[in-house]
Chains A and B, each alone.
Chain A
Amino acid sequence: MSKILQIDLSAKSYMVYENDKLYNEYIGGTGIATKLLYDMHIENNNPYDEKSPIIFSIGSFNGVYPIATKTIAMFKSPLTGNLGESHAGGRLFMSMYDAGLSAIVITGRLDVPSYIAIENENVRFIRATSIWGQSALATERILRGQEKGIGKRSIVRIGPAGESLSPMGNVLVDTGRHFGRLGLGGVMGSKNLKAIVISGSKRRKMDNFPAFNKVYTEIYSKAVHSAAMKKYHDLGTPQNVLPLNKINGLPTRNFSQGFFEGAEYLSGENMSENYLAQQIACANCPVGCIHLGVLRKSFQDRIHYKTFKISYDYEPIYALGTNLSINNPDGLLDLLNIIEKAGWDAIEAGITLAWATEAFEKGLIGTKETKGIILNFGDVETYKKVLLKMRENKEEFFENLNKGSAYCANKYGGKEFAINFGGLGAAGYITGRDAFIGFLMGVRHSHLDSAGYSIDEKVVRGDLEPNEGKEIDMLIEEEEWRFILNSLAVCLFARKIYTEELVIRALAALGITKTPEDLKGISKKIHKLKYEIKIANGFNMDKLGFPEKLYTIQTSRGKMDRATIKRMIKDYRDRIASLLSVN
């Protein structure tokens, strides 16, 4: 299982090759995608250059064990200018597995807007000028009707945001899952690639069935019957709203404070009780963490009603709810619906609207730029108007908003309150220094890299004594372990189930022998390559700092001391430098 499908969109050609060595060395998923990207030397490319690649990859647990549901995407990020990496659930991993493909590498640019259909090792290139401009949701409906597939289909597509080359553009995968954050949507748009439909007809007989079956059943049983995954199924990630609010860690009104007075309305509890239509799952995951909320709206004469089902999670609730001071779940779902159709990343869109609102308050922008629109925190109807104008992408100010908070702050000012790290908007935690250092130094600048917020929470709870060096140790250790989980492409929600011991046993049941030392070696190698890619693409470790505003606010751990943060960043940098110096 080491087949790589390489597609050249410019030539409309493709080939399949095998690379067992790559798989032995890097396991799969993030490991092999990193190595493939590294070897392609993207440092001289613009993210939207024809030759900039998009790499999708899966690992040896995908399609085999429960909750190994992720597909890894790697590319050059138009938001940060360096390593772009996003992970999505849904059915994509299953369709790639069914097609017998471990990775898909796409380069080039189509001459006209098109989509590609992959069936096993065959690729068709189909003109799609008629659906260019269609929402990301309509595109899925249309292509599901058009493409019958040769098995369960996965449909990966962009909306108008990606088409307009917005670096906030994401890629939607099946229902309610996304390659988010780092602008893969814009990269697909730059290639005139509206969608990818993939299906396959291969099946894999397990060599050592009893061993495999035993591990499968153990994981399934833990997922369904133990407490390990309960929170993800029950309230889902929004269960974090109230606990974070309680410790002053819930970003409110553009990171002005960690307490939101309307948190109760946006809590997992209230969303479940009053808005949850149902939970759904990624393929081969019995947990079902995808929470679909119901938005019911009247139209025309108020006797007509229309109903939407919109997936919600903690991060969009923070980005479009608390951080914009919106406490009304209907309003939140309404904004999310617009964002989902346009195909933006919800966090990035929220961070940009939050920057715009504060910039308006401070007079850096005015009604001249906004064409008369008055921006206020909490004003759902105005935010809807702004998003629709951003989707139109016709007037200068809204075209600029479509490029994200870092771009806007460069143009209009207000860098100190544009809450992004290296260009990527912050995830929803004001828990303290470890959350922010994780965003700054993590390879994806995301809360998913090292979960620094959870270290902060341990300190707040009194379970961990503050210790600068040890906290950095914990951040790096967590991030490096996650490289292994991401190489197997296991959903990180299952990280309590997929312990090192289980991973080694599950690999052994597939005939792959790895020791804890082997895994550590692989993750160090991945870490080093990722940093080398980042640095070669302009990530400058000498110019690192937080947005100024963050030094002025109360985090869950109190105000941050500038000298301490400087020391910790230097310490982290030194460790990366020493990682890079190893051959």
Chain B
Amino acid sequence: MRVINREQCIGCYSCMYACSRAYFHVASTKLSAMRIKNYSGVEGTFSIRICVGCPDPDCAKACPTEALTVRKGGGVEFHEEKCINCHQCVDACLLDALQWDPVTKEPLVCSQCGICATFCPNNVIALVEVNDE
């Protein structure tokens, strides 16, 4: 996933709603594997924190149990059975893109499916091809 037009974001959170809806069947922004941040006193400024599918991801590196592994085609895969709920993956993500579910105490991993982009009314984010090599 890539942010292609940050300045076009209107802060509607349709992307976050879409992600939570598609993967968890919830009507909420809570279980979204991405985040739109807004800033105090800076009217209309949004920052889009989305998994960019790092080739050598810091989150996977930080995981002490290899619960996160590099996924072919971008991003990481989550192996729930290995997760020890330590939060180190989320702390390691410099982009603040990797989200956390406080209920399950597990990371909310982006599948690079692009549904967030499908529900963006203003072409702010996009699913782009990356070279795996």
Contact = CB atoms under 8 A, between A and B. Distances in A.
Co-complex (A, B): yes
Given A144-B41, A280-B44, A286 B12 contact: yes
Contacts of A311: 43
Contacts of A283: 11-13, 29
Contact of A203 (B7, B26, B43): B26
Contacts of A223: 121
Interface in B75-133: 102, 119, 121-122
Given A209-B25, A281-B10, A288-B10, A224 B44 contact: no
A204 B10 contact: no
A212 B29 contact: no
Given A201-B30, A203-B20, A280 B10 contact: yes
B49 interface: no
A140 B40 contact: yes
A405 interface: no
B71 interface: no
Contacts of A277: 44
B29 A278 contact: no
B31 A203 contact: yes
B21 to A, nearest CB: 7
B69 interface: no
A509 to B, nearest CB: 11
B44 A292 contact: yes
A220 B24 CA distance: 19
Contacts of A202: 30
Given A203-B20, A283-B12, A286-B12, A63 B28 contact: yes
Contact of A145 (B14, B40, B44): B40
B47 to A, nearest CB: 14
Nearest to B13: A283
A224 B102 contact: no
Interface in A63-104: 63-64, 66, 94, 97-98
A203 B44 CA distance: 26
Nearest to B120: A286
A581 B29 CA distance: 46
Contacts of A159: none
A224 B41 contact: no
A292 B43 contact: yes
A282 B27 contact: no
A124 B78 CA distance: 38
11 contacts: A98-B30, A137-B41, A140-B40, A176-B43, A203-B24, A213-B21, A216-B27, A220-B14, A277-B44, A281-B11, A288-B121
Interface of B: 7, 10-14, 17, 20-21, 24-31, 40-41, 43-44, 102, 119, 121-122
Given A205-B24, A220-B14, A279-B10, 10 more contacts: A94-B29, A137-B41, A140-B40, A140-B41, A141-B40, A151-B30, A175-B44, A205-B26, A213-B21, A281-B11
Lowest 10 A-B CB distances belong to which pairs? A144-B40, A288-B10, A141-B41, A281-B12, A286-B121, A281-B10, A209-B25, A203-B28, A64-B27, A203-B30
